[in-house]
Each structure stands twice: as structure tokens, then as C-alpha cells.
Structure 1
Amino acid sequence: MISVNLNEFLGDMKSSGLGMLPIISREKDEIVIKNVALMKDFKYIGELDDRYIRSYSIIANKLHEGKKLFNYKGKTLSHVISYSYKGKILSYNITSSISQIKLNEENGRLVFDVKVKIEGDLENFIITEEILKSDIIKDIEKSISNQFEIELKEAVRHFQEDIGFDYLNLKSWTKKHRYNLFKKYEKNWDEAFRNAKFNFEVEAFIRRVGVIR
């Protein structure tokens, strides 16, 4: 889910006319928080499915912790005792995430280069001393990085093509960091956002591993 305070919401509505609010509903005797309401000029225009919330939070530097399940299809080690992690679902517990954005222009098109560094712990994973001496952890990190990159690209595609508005707050970022480009595209920002190119570079690091045998 996302956390939004009133000042932040009103500030977004004033600067861009766009805002997001978590949807809270009652199901039987439970309170459920699921999906996000998309607001435009103080009117509800639709919902953001919760599968895109993590990617939004990563790009916006709002993700403090979380969990991602991923399918590891990397290397196998024959010397691991009758056990292979290839094709296994592993759990990656995110402890920190930092994204850095650079913006350029190519042939009348905005190009956002987004560099993401994620740290976390590998849970439910039994390793041996043999694995610790090998490059298996590096291979898992590469697999996690690749799957995060796919997730981020899919989320941006959803915002650009399906929603069509800059709920990633890149207009405000551009105004603050690249004012010359902001002024050039300010009047047609929605179109500029939909046509923008995004490049992602993701590095995921495993700081701790769940269980060591």
C-alpha cells in the first residue's frame, strides 16, 4: 500500500492536479486496504491495481520495505547435497531502495534514465558452505535485478499507455532538476510523458541469507 498525508495530497493536486489515495473498504468484520484511487482535479477517475504499487514506490523513492517472490532459474550446483534451487520460488525481503533519475532529450523526446539500488535479505533459503564459496549468490542477485527491471518497465508502460497521466510525479521532478526542459514541455506535459522513453538499471544486493546449514 502507499502512505499519503494530507499536505502531500493537497500539494500534488495543486501542482499537477493529480493525486493518489489508498482505498480502504470493509469486508465482513475486517478492514481491507487494496488498490489505489487515482484522483484528477479532485475527481475519481479510476484505480491503480496493487501489483503496480511497489514499482511506483520504487521510482518515487517511497519504498522503505517490502517483499518480492521471484522464480530463480539460474545456475545449479552439482555438489549441493541432492538439492537444486533452479526453478524454485524464493522470497526477497526488501530493506532499502534508492532510485536516481537523469533526464535528457533526444529528437524531441524526453528520456528518463532511472538507476535503482535495492538491498534485502533472502528468506526461506538453506545454503551450505559450498554455495557460500561459489558465485551462486551473485547469480541470484542478477536474477532478482532482472525481474525487478521487468516489473518497473511494465509499471511505466501501464502509467503511460493505460492511465495516460503522470502519477509518477516526474513533472515536479523535472521542474526542480531540469527547469529548461520543464518549460519546454510544460504546456503539453501529458503528451510528453506518454511519449517519453525510460531506461532502467537495477542492482539488487543480498545482505543476509535466511538459514545456513
Structure 2
Amino acid sequence: MENYDPNMTVEELLYAIVEDETQKMHRVVNESNARLDREWEVGKAELLELKKIAVEKKRAKQAAAAALSAPLNDKENNKQQEKPSTEESKETKKKPAAKKGTAKSCPLKLVALSGPHKDEEFFIRPTLRVPCVIGRSKAKKYVDKGVSLNQDDQVSTMHGEFIFKSGQAMFVDVGSTNGSSVMKDGEELWLEKGHETIVPQDGSLMLRVGDTILKVEYCA
């Protein structure tokens, strides 16, 4: 109150006080705005500097990438130059080796030429894992997938089996009582137990089991 005229009326005093406070507020606001402007300029300068640094780093990376890709491009160009033309490749390309047979089974046809089963035909298919049995038994594996000579008393219950091995069908006598034999060049050759007799690819095997002579050959 010391700064005000004591002769002022109450209204004049209030007006003076309001005027002074208003001026103070203006000064505070102006100082704040000035400070904010300074801070903005500083922040703006820092942002511009960061942007400049980022641009320089990006350019440096691009330059490094270009420097690295240049040798690779040279190598690719050299490869393209060294690569023979399509026609030359076709001419010089070797043919792949023929694949070996991958058959896992073979179909056989057996025809009885003599004995109690004369004129009967049997069709079997021995596989790499499962042979086809032949004997006097009437069991399912003889009747359905093997050869059942149940009317020939000279045939053992389990006489022998046909196996598939190394791409060929073979007959094996498993230890029959009366044995097995093959007819070759007019002679009868008796087979030893466990001996593997090959069924010829271009002919037939004349096989005797008991009183039955079987003609064994491959079929489609």
C-alpha cells in the first residue's frame, strides 16, 4: 500500500492494484513464453542435428552395402559367362543311371502235370518277407496263399516253400520226408534240404513233390 497515493478513493485504489497485478501477470507470461521459445529453438536444433546424423548413418550403410554387393555381382556375372548355353547343357548332360529293380514280389503259376492233382492250377505270389508254402496241409495259408496238395499222400504236411530273393523266385525243400526233385535235360535231380532252386526267367521249372509233378513259371 506504500506505493499508492493515500488520497486515492477506494475505487481508484482497487483499480491501481488490479492494474499492477495485471502487469505482473503479463511479465510472467512473457517471460514464460520467452523461455519456451528458447527451449523450442534448442530442441529444434537438437532434432535437426539428430536427423542429420541419422541421414549420414543411412548413407554410410548404403555405401557399405553397395561395396559388399559389388564383388558378389562380379561373381554372378562370371558364373553367367562361364555357364554353358541351354542347348550345350542338353547335349553334355549325362543321362541318369537306370534305377535298379524295386519289385517286392513275383507272381507264379503252377500246373500239376501228374499225380492226384493233375491239371489243377495254382497261383501264388511270394514276397521279400513272406514265402508261399507248399504241402499236404489244408491250413488257410496253404489253401489261400500257397499250394495245398492234400490228396497226395507222398507230400509232407509242410513240404517246401517258394521264396522271392534278389529279384528271383526260388523253391526250397524245408526237410520233407520223401524229398523233392527237378527234371532237367531228361534227368531227375534230387534237391538237398535248404537248397535254393531258381525258377528260370525264360522258361519253367519242372518240380516233383511226392507223386505230383508241377510246372512252375512266372506269370503276369
Query: TM-score, length-normalised on structure 2?
Result: 0.20
Larger radius of gyration: 2
Which has the larger share of strand?
1
Query: TM-score, length-normalised on structure 1?
Result: 0.21
